[in-house]
A and B are shown apart, each in its own frame.
Chain A
């Protein structure tokens, strides 16, 4: 469970800073973000709404939504063994990578699909524009196969349907087939099931797990659901207010959480791997990132906060092999 044996990096994020330039001020959404996703692993990022999970995932293909801007950092992508910095590529080079090598599955399939085109068309155009199929005819055949693979009922009929004619689960299946259509090397699933009801969620997660296994994909999963983390991931990064506060193999996080935020998070949700009597919310609310708290961003809500926490930002340190924590309690 502690990840693949061959630790060959696929993508390395180094010292990434993403700011949003809004009228109200500069939102410091991501600061000092460093992590690596290894080939073939299932990497998870977990955190509350607005903590920067989605923004981080978008930065991997340099497609941070406006008014966000990557102000600093590197995203090294190992393309056939050659490292390239995603942030230095031209728009056309990026286009070739997006959707083909790094593909996304988004959170809300109803607004992500163009309402005026059939889902078949939208699957095929994704392949046509990346030259992975010869022509539209072959594309449609491939689209039927893809839909069958994601367990869409009646795929031959469904390719002719418009998004509004499908159910939420079917639309998400369509979006997953778009993500898979070019057999990407990295599949980024941004809360792929949070807009669906629970039974469909379980089905789709199972499906994702099978697809990743069968096609040898690398999965970068974003979620706020610790249950999904436990079920799906090899390694997990816990985000708080734009910082990674803890990064560890999934078992470590559940059995041996180090950061007060992670511990709070685990007490606030039903923990599948530990018995807890009562769910406890974390006191306070997430900070305004235009004026982030000085020092450790979690200190206003932290029960163990000390003077150092208010003054200086703690570094991310390795407390045991593969287990990193950003906290003054563990820094010394």
Chain B
């Protein structure tokens, strides 16, 4: 246990440079854009010069970039940066959008696990069959097809032609526990809300996870094939173990590398969320970030980037812990 505490402390320290690096890059990009955000925030060309001047003072826009960055980070950490468009603190605003994005990535992750892993196993067990060809094609097509195109195609088929799904509004349950609609609905047992959420999120989730499903299936296939042709599986057969037990041995070994990639994919899903949310008009964090870009709302944009970075490093921390749970050879 002492080991795991030290490990967590060490990992937490590596968070700091990562987060500084990410926000710094985002900040520099925002800073480098030759625009006048103060004018835009104050109302465009006809803005009152006094208001513009106040905004410049308030957000330190005339100071050198490192001074701006310092005030900005301080403001993020104390949540005292007010969004110039909405008047809320930017972190509060982003965090209020977060549960929706989280729900979307959960759906995508669900497809990754529930479709990706079994497809990979089946294609390994039936090597060179049609399902194996499907998995291999899927992996290739998945990474080549742009999400927005796929999203519109799916909307056309499943909403416009078939009418199976819903693409407007987010049904919220009456209770508010975690803020994530479907989890709250499950906890309070509001089954029709759960169902409505599924109908609303199943397609965006699948779209967002589409590339990942192929990647995971391909990875599971290869690592399962490797496990099943290993010496310990052969020896397990020589020991006369039952088929199911042998498969359990193979599967557990095959899943070790998959856990890492699932963690990385989770980050990728968050990165894909802005496009998916825009296509399916889901009011999540990604959508808010896209809007922020269009209205030059840099404080909000960087706050969002900061939040995504935090989620990403935390996910990777969880993955590292899980990794050690699955594989006894990994020690902290």
- By a beta-carbon cutoff of 8 Å, the part of chain A in contact with chain B is 58, 61, 63, 65, 94-100, 103-104, 106, 108, 111-117, 125-126, 129-130, 162, 164, 178
Interface centre among B236, B249, B252, B326 (most CB of A within 10 A): B236
B231 touches A112 (CB 8 A): yes
Which of A99, A114, A129, A130 is within 8 Å of B238, CB to CB?
A99
Closest to B231 in A: A111
Could you say which residues of chain A place their CB within 8 Å of the CB of B63? none
Instruction: Give A103's nearest chain B residue, CB to CB.
Output: B239
Binding site for A on B (CB under 8 A): 230-232, 234-243, 245, 249, 252-253, 256, 326-329
A111 touches B230 (CB 8 A): yes
On chain A, the residues within 8 Å of B329 by CB distance are 115, 162, 164
Nearest-CB distance from A185 to chain B (Å)? 13
A95–B230 Cα distance when bound, in Å, is: 19
- Alpha-carbon distance A108/B230, docked complex (angstroms): 12
Instruction: For the A-B complex with A104-B238, A115-B327 known, give 4 more contacts whose Cβ atoms are closer than 8 Å.
Output: A95-B241, A99-B239, A106-B238, A112-B232
> Which residues in B have their C-beta under 8 angstroms from that of A65?
234
Find out whether the CB atom of A114 lies under 8 angstroms from the CB atom of B236.
yes
B328–A99 CB distance below 8 A? no
Question: How many Å from the CB of B325 to the closest CB on chain A?
Answer: 11
Cβ contact within 8 Å between A98 and B240: yes
Is the CB–CB distance between B240 and A114 below 8 Å? no
Note all chain A residues with C-beta closer than 8 A to B253: 114-116
> From B249, which residue of chain A is reached at the shortest CB distance?
A114
CA distance A57 to B242 in the complex (A): 21
The docked-state distance in angstroms from the alpha carbon of A178 to that of B329 is 22
Query: What is the CA–CA distance of A100 and B245 in the complex, to the nearest angstrom?
Result: 16
Q: Which of A94, A162, A178 contacts B328 (CB 8 A)?
A: A162
Question: Would B242 and A129 count as touching, CB distance under 8 A?
Answer: yes
The interface residues of chain B lying within 8 Å CB-to-CB of A97 are 240
Kindly provide the distance from the CB of A82 to the nearest chain B CB, expressed in whole angstroms. 20
The answer to whether A116 touches B252 (Cβ under 8 A) is: yes
Q: A116-B327, A117-B249 in contact; A125/B241 too (CB < 8 A)? A: yes
Q: Is the CB of A63 within 8 A of B237?
A: yes
Distance (Å) between the CB of A122 and the closest chain B CB?
A: 8
The CB with the most chain A CB atoms within 10 A, among B230, B231, B326, B329, is that of B231
One of A63, A99, A112, A115 near B241 (C-beta < 8 A): A99
Which chain B residue has the least Cβ–Cβ distance from A179? B239
Contacts of A58 in B (CB 8 A): 238
The 10 closest A-B CB pairs, nearest first, are A99-B240, A98-B240, A111-B231, A99-B239, A112-B235, A162-B328, A114-B232, A104-B238, A126-B239, A95-B240
Q: Specify the chain A residue showing the minimal Cβ separation from B252.
A: A116
A61 to chain B, nearest CB (A): 7
CA distance A115 to B327 in the complex (A): 8
Contacts of A111 in B (CB 8 A): 230-232
In the assembled complex, the Cα of A129 lies from the Cα of B327 at a distance in Å of: 24
Q: Specify which chain B residues have a CB less than 8 angstroms from the CB of A125 in the assembled complex.
A: 241, 245
What are 15 of the A-B contact pairs (CB < 8 Å)? A58-B238, A95-B242, A98-B238, A99-B239, A104-B238, A111-B230, A112-B231, A112-B234, A114-B232, A115-B232, A115-B327, A115-B328, A116-B327, A126-B241, A164-B328
Q: How far is the CA of A95 from the CA of B236 in the complex (A)?
A: 10
Partner of A129, one of B235, B241, B252: B241
- Taking CB atoms, residues of chain B closer than 8 Å to A130 are 240
**A116–B240 CB distance below 8 A:** no
Q: Are B249 and A98 in contact (CB under 8 A)?
A: no
Report A66 CB to chain B, min CB distance, Å: 8
Q: Quick one: which of B231, B239, B252, B326 contacts A108, CB cutoff 8 A?
A: B231
A123 nearest CB neighbor, chain B only: B239
The interface centre, meaning the residue of A97, A103, A116, A130 with most chain B CB atoms within 10 A of its CB, is A116
Residues of chain A within 8 A (CB-CB) of B326 are 116
